[in-house]
Structure 1
Amino acid sequence: MTELSEEYGRPLGGYALIMAAYGGAVAAVTALAVLMGKRPPERLGPLDLLLMGVSTHRLSRTLAKDPVTSPLRAPFTRFKGVSGPAEFEEEPRDKIGELMACPFCLAQWVATGYAAGLVLAPRLTRLFGATMTAVAVSDWLQLGYVKLMKEAE
């Protein structure tokens, strides 16, 4: 694996570990659901997909960019500066840091957690999804308000 990493200039070994951790987490949640006698929903409606999508976006950005969650990322990243309103730019120290500082990378984990929540605790998961969706909508309204105020000046 090291030879491939050097040949392609990417940390393929680290990526393989992250994929193994993801697969292990999915297997563990699946086993837990089976032991608890839980089954996935027959179908996901449009509201479930909307809540899942918007809350995944919001939580992924919160985990990867928010100043308040920077202590979670600090062992794996280095602070570079501010990247946007209430967001930090950080560079990864290692393979885990690449995952922790990338909202696109975290989204798969967050969406999988949300899907697991729909199986294990659907009511609580939908409440969480609605909360994160409200935060995302509020963020967009805040940014829109600031833009309108600047245009009005």
Structure 2
Amino acid sequence: MLNLDSLVGHGHEEEPLAHYVRLMGTYLLLSAGSFVLLERAGRPLPSRIPLRDVALLGLATNRLSRLITRDKVTRAVRAPFTDVEPDASGETHETPRGDGMTRAIGELLTCPRCAAMWASLALTLGYFVSPRVTRAASSLLGAAAISDFVNTGYARVMNAGK
């Protein structure tokens, strides 16, 4: 096992750094392996992706990562790795629990920006394999993301007058 103690600065004692490295390695292997498999299967990657599709994938990634990390309906996925804390905002607030890989996965499943990398990979691979289906799914997720932004803005405007 890799000993990171001599490589890192102070303040990381409670963090499962070796497990973070394993998760990063898994992500890199999945992404690189998927791209290689697509090429070998005769499905070469596009030389460019139209900006409108990048924007759509970005909105879908935002909503999918929030779905994974914040929505109550996906709490069952996070439950083995988190503890729930009360939150008046309507979103679920959970903190990672345990140690080792349990803690590292808990960190991933409670961090929208962290989960966005994995969600983006899934959506992008879907786009390479089946652009029409992925555009349709991304449109659904993107519309929900836009709705979230509008609802948040509306709530702020309504609360500002109080």
TM-score range, shorter chain: 0.7 to 0.9
Give the secondary-structure state (helix, strand or coil) at the position aligned to 1:75: helix
- TM-score, normalised to structure 2, is 0.83
Within the candidate set 133, 156, 162, 1:147 is matched to: 156
Shift of 1:92: 0.6
Question: Aligned residue for 2:43?
Answer: 38
Offset of 1:99 from its aligned partner? 0.5
Deviation for aligned residue 1:106: 0.5
**Matches for 1:1-150 after TM superposition, within 5 Å:** 1-2=2-3, 4=5, 8-9=12-13, 10-82=15-87, 84-85=89-90, 87-93=91-97, 94-150=103-159
Deviation by residue 1:97-138 (Cα, 9 ceiling, x = unmatched): 000111011011111111111111111111111111100111
List runs of 5+ in structure 1 lacking aligned partners. none
What is the alpha-carbon distance in structure 1 between the residues aligned to residue 86 and residue 108 of structure 2? 18
Deviations 1:39-88 (A, max 9, x none): 21221122111111111111101100100000000001111122633x11
- Please state how far the C-alpha of 1:13 moved relative to its aligned partner: 0.8
| The structure with more strand, counted as a fraction of residues | 1
Count of aligned residue pairs for this structure pair: 152
Cα deviation code 1:8-35 (max 9, x no counterpart): 3232111111012112222442243134
Hey, what's the Cα distance between the residues in 1 that align with 2:22 and 2:156?
Answer: 43
Matched letter for residue 66 of structure 2: R
Q: State the distance in 2 between where 1:83 and 1:36 align.
A: 49
Check the 8 A contact 2:60/2:145 in 1, yes or no.
yes
| Higher normalized helix content (fraction of residues) | 1
Give me the CA root mean square deviation: 2.1
Cα distance, 1:135–1:35 mapped onto 2, change above 3 Å:
same
TM-score by length of 1: 0.87
With 39-48 and 26-35 compared, the bigger mean Cα shift is at: 26-35
In 2: Cα distance, 1:133 partner to 1:89 partner: 23
